[in-house]
Protein backbone atom coordinates (compact mmCIF):
# COMPACT_ATOMS: atom_id res chain seq x y z
CA UNK A 1 0.00 0.00 0.00
CA UNK A 2 2.77 2.43 0.90
CA UNK A 3 4.51 1.79 -2.38
CA UNK A 4 1.33 2.68 -4.28
CA UNK A 5 1.22 5.97 -2.38
CA UNK A 6 4.82 6.72 -3.32
CA UNK A 7 6.21 6.14 0.17
CA UNK A 8 9.31 4.36 -1.14
CA UNK A 9 11.53 4.61 1.94
CA UNK A 10 8.77 3.33 4.19
CA UNK A 11 7.95 0.48 1.78
CA UNK A 12 11.63 -0.54 1.71
CA UNK A 13 11.80 -0.53 5.49
CA UNK A 14 8.69 -2.69 5.79
CA UNK A 15 9.95 -5.10 3.12
CA UNK A 16 13.27 -5.44 4.96
CA UNK A 17 11.47 -6.14 8.24
CA UNK A 18 9.29 -8.75 6.58
CA UNK A 19 12.33 -10.41 4.98
CA UNK A 20 13.86 -10.73 8.44
CA UNK A 21 10.70 -12.56 9.54
CA UNK A 22 10.77 -14.77 6.44
CA UNK A 23 14.46 -15.43 5.70
CA UNK A 24 13.97 -18.86 4.14
CA UNK A 25 14.13 -18.70 0.36
CA UNK A 26 11.86 -21.70 0.04
CA UNK A 27 8.90 -19.84 1.54
CA UNK A 28 6.36 -17.96 -0.55
CA UNK A 29 6.31 -14.93 1.77
CA UNK A 30 10.05 -14.48 1.40
CA UNK A 31 9.63 -14.11 -2.35
CA UNK A 32 6.56 -11.88 -2.11
CA UNK A 33 8.52 -9.41 0.01
CA UNK A 34 11.62 -9.76 -2.17
CA UNK A 35 9.60 -8.75 -5.24
CA UNK A 36 8.02 -5.90 -3.27
CA UNK A 37 11.46 -4.67 -2.23
CA UNK A 38 12.69 -4.90 -5.82
CA UNK A 39 9.71 -2.84 -6.99
CA UNK A 40 10.41 -0.19 -4.33
CA UNK A 41 14.10 -0.06 -5.25
CA UNK A 42 13.25 0.38 -8.91
CA UNK A 43 10.80 3.19 -8.19
CA UNK A 44 13.52 4.82 -6.13
CA UNK A 45 15.92 4.64 -9.08
CA UNK A 46 18.04 1.67 -7.95
CA UNK A 47 17.47 -0.45 -11.06
CA UNK A 48 20.65 -2.51 -10.78
CA UNK A 49 19.98 -3.46 -7.17
CA UNK A 50 16.37 -4.23 -8.07
CA UNK A 51 17.44 -6.63 -10.82
CA UNK A 52 19.94 -8.31 -8.50
CA UNK A 53 17.12 -9.13 -6.09
CA UNK A 54 15.06 -10.57 -8.94
CA UNK A 55 17.89 -12.64 -10.42
CA UNK A 56 17.55 -15.84 -8.35
CA UNK A 57 15.10 -18.42 -9.60
CA UNK A 58 12.09 -19.23 -7.45
CA UNK A 59 11.79 -22.60 -5.77
CA UNK A 60 10.00 -25.14 -7.95
CA UNK A 61 6.97 -25.05 -5.67
CA UNK A 62 6.43 -21.36 -6.57
CA UNK A 63 7.43 -21.48 -10.23
CA UNK A 64 3.86 -21.46 -11.55
CA UNK A 65 2.14 -19.14 -9.08
CA UNK A 66 1.43 -15.45 -8.93
CA UNK A 67 4.80 -14.73 -7.30
CA UNK A 68 6.51 -16.06 -10.43
CA UNK A 69 4.34 -13.83 -12.58
CA UNK A 70 5.14 -10.77 -10.48
CA UNK A 71 8.85 -11.62 -10.56
CA UNK A 72 8.84 -11.97 -14.35
CA UNK A 73 6.85 -8.77 -14.78
CA UNK A 74 9.18 -6.87 -12.47
CA UNK A 75 12.28 -8.18 -14.28
CA UNK A 76 10.86 -7.10 -17.63
CA UNK A 77 10.00 -3.61 -16.39
CA UNK A 78 13.48 -3.14 -14.85
CA UNK A 79 15.24 -4.24 -18.02
CA UNK A 80 13.09 -1.89 -20.09
CA UNK A 81 13.91 0.99 -17.75
CA UNK A 82 17.60 0.19 -17.91
CA UNK A 83 17.49 0.10 -21.70
CA UNK A 84 15.65 3.43 -21.79
CA UNK A 85 18.16 4.97 -19.39
CA UNK A 86 21.05 3.77 -21.55
CA UNK A 87 19.64 5.49 -24.66
pLDDT digits (tens, 9 = 90+) for 23-81: 999 899 999 999 999 999 988 989 889 889 988 888 888 888 888 888 888 888 888 88
CA separation for the pair 56, 46 (Å, rounded): 18
All structural domains of the chain with their residue ranges = 8-86
pTM of the model: 0.82
Concatenated DSSP letters of 10-70: HHHHHHHHHHHH---TTSHHHHHHHHHHHHHHHHTT-HHHHHHHH-SPPPGGGTTSHHHHH
Quick one: pLDDT at residue 83? 82
Amino acid sequence: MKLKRGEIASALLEADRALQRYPSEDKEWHWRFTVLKAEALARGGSLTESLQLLRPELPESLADGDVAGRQTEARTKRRQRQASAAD
